Amino acid sequence: MDLYLYHSKNSDNNCMSTVKTAIDPITLTAGAVKQLHRIRQRQNVPADHGLRVGVKGGGCSGFSYVLGFDVQKDKDEEFEIEGLRVFIQKAHAIYLLGMEIDWLDGLNNRGFTFNNPNAKESCGCGTSFSA
Protein backbone atom coordinates (compact mmCIF):
# COMPACT_ATOMS: atom_id res chain seq x y z
CA MET A 1 0.00 0.00 0.00
CA ASP A 2 1.22 3.45 -0.81
CA LEU A 3 0.02 6.69 0.67
CA TYR A 4 0.25 9.79 -1.47
CA LEU A 5 0.24 13.20 0.17
CA TYR A 6 -0.10 16.33 -1.91
CA HIS A 7 0.62 19.85 -0.72
CA SER A 8 1.63 23.12 -2.28
CA LYS A 9 5.06 24.53 -1.54
CA ASN A 10 3.69 27.98 -0.78
CA SER A 11 0.76 30.19 -1.68
CA ASP A 12 2.73 32.16 -4.31
CA ASN A 13 4.07 29.08 -6.07
CA ASN A 14 1.63 26.73 -7.79
CA CYS A 15 4.13 23.86 -7.72
CA MET A 16 2.93 20.70 -6.07
CA SER A 17 5.10 18.11 -4.45
CA THR A 18 4.36 14.47 -3.86
CA VAL A 19 5.47 12.50 -0.87
CA LYS A 20 5.22 8.76 -1.25
CA THR A 21 5.50 6.63 1.85
CA ALA A 22 4.78 2.95 2.34
CA ILE A 23 2.46 1.93 5.13
CA ASP A 24 2.98 -1.55 6.50
CA PRO A 25 -0.32 -3.45 6.53
CA ILE A 26 0.66 -5.46 9.61
CA THR A 27 2.97 -5.04 12.59
CA LEU A 28 5.45 -7.59 13.88
CA THR A 29 6.55 -7.16 17.48
CA ALA A 30 10.18 -7.58 18.49
CA GLY A 31 9.33 -10.95 20.04
CA ALA A 32 7.67 -12.16 16.83
CA VAL A 33 10.61 -11.00 14.69
CA LYS A 34 13.10 -12.74 16.97
CA GLN A 35 11.13 -16.01 16.84
CA LEU A 36 10.67 -15.82 13.06
CA HIS A 37 14.43 -15.37 12.58
CA ARG A 38 15.01 -18.31 14.93
CA ILE A 39 12.60 -20.51 12.93
CA ARG A 40 14.15 -19.42 9.63
CA GLN A 41 17.62 -20.38 10.88
CA ARG A 42 16.65 -23.68 12.53
CA GLN A 43 14.64 -24.87 9.53
CA ASN A 44 17.19 -23.63 6.97
CA VAL A 45 14.55 -21.65 5.09
CA PRO A 46 15.91 -20.69 1.64
CA ALA A 47 16.80 -17.03 1.09
CA ASP A 48 14.16 -16.63 -1.67
CA HIS A 49 11.37 -17.43 0.82
CA GLY A 50 9.50 -14.70 2.66
CA LEU A 51 6.95 -14.72 5.42
CA ARG A 52 3.45 -15.44 4.13
CA VAL A 53 0.68 -13.87 6.18
CA GLY A 54 -2.88 -14.60 5.14
CA VAL A 55 -6.26 -16.05 5.94
CA LYS A 56 -8.13 -19.16 4.87
CA GLY A 57 -11.65 -20.38 5.38
CA GLY A 58 -12.09 -22.65 8.37
CA GLY A 59 -11.44 -22.68 12.06
CA CYS A 60 -14.09 -22.47 14.72
CA SER A 61 -14.93 -18.81 13.94
CA GLY A 62 -14.95 -18.89 10.12
CA PHE A 63 -11.41 -17.85 9.15
CA SER A 64 -8.01 -18.97 10.35
CA TYR A 65 -4.64 -17.30 9.95
CA VAL A 66 -1.87 -18.45 7.63
CA LEU A 67 1.68 -17.80 8.84
CA GLY A 68 4.72 -19.49 7.34
CA PHE A 69 7.64 -19.15 4.98
CA ASP A 70 6.90 -19.44 1.26
CA VAL A 71 7.98 -18.22 -2.18
CA GLN A 72 6.30 -15.19 -3.69
CA LYS A 73 3.28 -15.87 -5.90
CA ASP A 74 1.64 -13.82 -8.65
CA LYS A 75 -1.18 -12.42 -6.50
CA ASP A 76 1.11 -11.36 -3.65
CA GLU A 77 2.10 -7.91 -2.57
CA GLU A 78 5.56 -7.76 -1.04
CA PHE A 79 6.47 -5.67 1.99
CA GLU A 80 9.61 -5.33 4.05
CA ILE A 81 8.61 -5.33 7.71
CA GLU A 82 11.23 -5.29 10.45
CA GLY A 83 13.83 -6.68 8.03
CA LEU A 84 11.63 -9.55 6.83
CA ARG A 85 10.17 -9.98 3.35
CA VAL A 86 6.43 -10.38 3.91
CA PHE A 87 3.96 -11.67 1.28
CA ILE A 88 0.25 -10.90 1.53
CA GLN A 89 -2.30 -11.70 -1.15
CA LYS A 90 -4.20 -8.58 -2.19
CA ALA A 91 -7.54 -10.26 -1.45
CA HIS A 92 -6.47 -10.98 2.14
CA ALA A 93 -5.47 -7.40 2.97
CA ILE A 94 -9.00 -6.38 3.96
CA TYR A 95 -8.91 -8.94 6.78
CA LEU A 96 -5.34 -8.21 7.91
CA LEU A 97 -4.91 -4.43 7.73
CA GLY A 98 -3.71 -3.12 11.08
CA MET A 99 -3.09 -6.56 12.61
CA GLU A 100 -0.26 -7.10 15.09
CA ILE A 101 1.55 -10.44 15.28
CA ASP A 102 3.29 -11.15 18.56
CA TRP A 103 5.15 -14.08 20.13
CA LEU A 104 4.28 -15.21 23.64
CA ASP A 105 6.58 -17.49 25.58
CA GLY A 106 4.87 -17.96 28.93
CA LEU A 107 4.05 -20.89 31.17
CA ASN A 108 0.42 -21.16 30.05
CA ASN A 109 0.62 -19.74 26.57
CA ARG A 110 3.35 -20.16 23.97
CA GLY A 111 3.13 -19.25 20.31
CA PHE A 112 2.20 -16.54 17.87
CA THR A 113 -0.76 -14.34 18.73
CA PHE A 114 -2.82 -12.23 16.35
CA ASN A 115 -4.28 -8.93 17.50
CA ASN A 116 -6.62 -8.12 14.64
CA PRO A 117 -8.79 -4.98 14.75
CA ASN A 118 -10.88 -6.35 11.85
CA ALA A 119 -12.01 -9.44 13.77
CA LYS A 120 -15.57 -9.21 15.08
CA GLU A 121 -15.14 -12.41 17.07
CA SER A 122 -12.29 -14.77 17.76
CA CYS A 123 -12.20 -18.19 19.32
CA GLY A 124 -10.55 -19.25 22.53
CA CYS A 125 -7.49 -20.63 20.74
CA GLY A 126 -6.80 -17.22 19.17
CA THR A 127 -6.03 -18.59 15.73
CA SER A 128 -9.43 -18.17 14.09
CA PHE A 129 -11.80 -15.23 13.75
CA SER A 130 -14.91 -13.92 12.04
CA ALA A 131 -15.07 -10.69 10.09
Q: What is the DSSP string of 8-23?
A: EEETTEEEEEEEEEE-
Which CATH topology does 25-130 take? Hypothetical Protein Aq_1857; Chain: A; (2.60.300)
What are the domain boundaries of the chain? 25-130
3-state secondary structure of 92: helix
pLDDT tens figures, 27-81:
999 999 999 999 999 999 999 999 999 988 765 557 788 999 999 999 999 999 9
pLDDT at 121 over 70: no
